[in-house]
Amino acid sequence: MTLFLSRPRPQRIAALPAMLLAGTSLTVATMHPAFANDQPLNATAKVQRGFKPFPNFAPLVTIVKPAVVSVTVHFKINNTAQTGNQGQPRSPFQFPFSIPFPHLQKPQPVEAKGSGFFISPKGYVVTNNHVVKNAKSVFVTLSDGQRLIAKIVGTDPSTDLAVLKVTRSKPFPFLELGNSKKVLPGQWVIAIGNPFGLAETVTTGVVSALGRDIGDGEYDSFIQTDAPINEGNSGGPLLNQKGQVIGVNTAILTPSGGSVGIGFSISSDMVKRITTELIKYGHVNRGFIGVQAQDVSPEMATALGLKSHDGHADGALIDETEPSGPAAKAGLAPGDVITKLNGKTVKDVRDFALAISEVKPGDAVHVAYDHDHHIKSTTIKVEKFPANAQAAFTHVSASTQQKAELGLVLTLLTPSNRQQLNLPMTAQGAVVVHVAPDSPADQAGIRSGDVIVGIGSAAITNPGEVIAAIHNAETHHAKAIAVRIMRDNQAIFVAIPLPKANAKK
């Protein structure tokens, strides 16, 4: 039995001290007019006399439920290795979407369930990409039990969103996408979905945090909530108290497979932009300026001589530019640090990626960047993100030489090792053939097989240039050196501390 304890009315609060001062006399307590009709104490009666439980989501849920649907997917699998994200955990993160019969070893038709909701009376349904990925057929079940065949209008794996379309003779109830910029930690939220096949399940909680990066993709910026989200909730709405969708439930942090109060939702502002593109084009057109970048760590800030605060330096460090890309044409080069886009500070790579992705191809973006300790600015015309962005980059990366103090042994990049490392024949640089254990290079993360292609913003073509650049940095009493390497066909910067400089401190 649940006991609702009411808050005393104002007049009772005022009378309470007088009652206590009078001692514990039963006569004094029963004579007080505020309690005259409450013998014996009836908490239920007090609730019925005007106490309103807070919060009461029942009226809201009654109105919005018809706009929330169950999504059923049919597909074939050979074994669990072929199911992708559908029900398979990414430790410690797991998408809340389940597959029955996970141990089937031969091709079988499999039915799986997720959630979704209408965003238009015309029958457009939002759900997660991982819910409908590899689907052979998709069905949507309404709150009244009606089951409709759904067409996949478009999907966006980068944000894990998908749009479906169903039709019938009369309009569909739908939910309004709210403004996620107004969402605050601590506010009440409601999640509605189809966990474990239990349709129209309602859970409540609060917003725990904003802008969470869970390492799922470059556009991560999730709303974290403690409203219970479980397998099958994927694609369902996260609502505010106005009945507006502020997020789409997509992932959970769980050591057990069930909800532990840490769930993640895609923000409604992102959902608006992505679903609009999917409905219009069937895919998302993202901005592209032709750079690969990384965060500026404290060590890298020291190596590049950048200002940092609280152990962090703002900006996105360019690892590589696509030779014929917009950024390269505008004069940006590896080693430059992008600090602002259209006047807004770039805090990190995720901030940078989100900002560029939201620029419409064909539009221009004003970029401020640090180049060799000088702040420069330029305007870049943003292009459409290519189908295979990685392929757009052409990587420019004698005898064996070594730098004993750093623990590096280097050799010239030859046609043979270019082929071994799967590099283009035009690639130049110095191959790391050995890293001394516990050396500065080892501690910085350099490993055998890395190709040093640059020191700071200067390109490297051979081991001798690496040694010369390190000597030059030591001569100028640098504390660390920024080394640009190619690893697994990807360019990154690594900061290596200089022992001589550190020894002088």
What is the set of active-site residues?
Answer: 130, 160, 234
Query: How big is the chain, counted in residues?
Result: 505
Secondary structure (3-state) at 173: coil
Contacts of 482 (CB under 8 A, 6+ apart): 300, 303, 304, 335, 455, 456, 493, 494, 495
- Which residues on neighbouring strands pair with residue 248, listed in sequence order? 266
Burial bucket for residue 203 (CB in 10 Å: 0-12, 13-18, 19+) = buried
Torsion of CA 288, 293, 295, 298, to 10 degrees: -150
Asked if 460 and 428 count as a contact pair (C-beta separation under 8 A), the reply is yes
**Is the separation of the CB atoms in 196 and 183 below 8 Å?**
no
| DSSP output for 453-471 | EEETTEE--SHHHHHHHHH
Coil vs helix vs strand at 472: helix
Looking at the DSSP bridge assignments, the partners of residue 486 are 451, 491
Burial status of residue 391 (CB atoms within 10 A of its CB: 0-12, 13-18, 19 or more)? exposed
| First CA to last CA distance, the chain | 70
3-state secondary structure 299-341: HHHHHHCCCCECCECCCEEEEEECCCCHHHHCCCCCCCEEEEE
Q: HSE (CB half, 13 Å, CA atoms) of 252?
A: 27
CA 87 to CA 455: how far, in whole Å?
44
CA distances (Å), origin 155, targets 17, 132, 148, 466: 64, 9, 19, 46
